[in-house]
Amino acid sequence: MKKVRVSLIFALIMFLTIACSAPGDTINKAMKLAELQYEQQHHPVQYLEVSDKLTWSHDGFMGHITGTIKNTATFAIDYVEVEFAEFDKDGNQIGTTFDNMTDLQPGATWKFDVPIFDDDVEKVKLINIDATVY
């Protein structure tokens, strides 16, 4: 939270510095830049593209959900997490499981591998994708 506040304060200072010393066109450009920086920091998940094909397998020890997430942004995303709900044969949710990574570079594709440790899992559902830019 402190990093977000510091970033917002820095963006505001930069905006005010430019706004106070520049003509109107430069002010508009500075405002657009500040808005873009805010959007990147607060909504980076919009830059993630999840593969249509998710696979579920078992290696004899535990289950795996695999797929890919691509960073379509022009900047690195510092933290990415994918989370699934786990359901038993009766449709009851019996848990959640996730995988995460740090520093997903621009244009890079992450091949995630979400572990399933419970033998009673019969079905999974993607419930959340989270992303953070510091």
φ/ψ of 9, rounded to 5, equals: -65, -45
Q: What is the pLDDT of residue 80?
A: 97
φ/ψ of 111, rounded to 5, equals: -95, 100
Same domain, 7 and 57: no
Q: What is the pLDDT of residue 44?
A: 86
Same domain, 24 and 87: no
Residue 71: Cβ within 10 Å count = 22
User: At 68, is the secondary structure helix, strand, or coil?
Assistant: strand
Same domain, 65 and 119: yes
Report whether 125 contacts 85 (CB < 8 A): yes
Q: What is the pLDDT of residue 4?
A: 46
Q: What is the pLDDT of residue 60?
A: 84
Residue 94: Cβ within 10 Å count = 13
Q: Supply the Cα-derived Rg of the chain in whole angstroms.
A: 20
Count structural domains, the chain.
2
**pLDDT tens, residue order, the chain (134 aa):** 445 454 555 454 555 555 555 555 666 666 655 555 555 555 688 999 999 899 988 888 899 999 999 999 999 999 999 999 999 999 999 999 999 999 999 999 999 999 999 999 999 999 999 999 98
Same domain, 54 and 112: yes
Domain of residue 56 covers 47-132
Q: What is the pLDDT of residue 58?
A: 85
Q: What is the dihedral of CA 21, 22, 28, 31, to 10 degrees?
A: -30
Report whether 82 contacts 98 (CB < 8 A): yes
User: Can you give the CATH number for the domain in which 58 is found?
Assistant: 2.60.40.3230
Q: What is the pLDDT of residue 54?
A: 92
Q: What is the pLDDT of residue 52?
A: 86
Extract the runs of DSSP E, i.e. beta strands, from 21-62: 48-50, 55-58
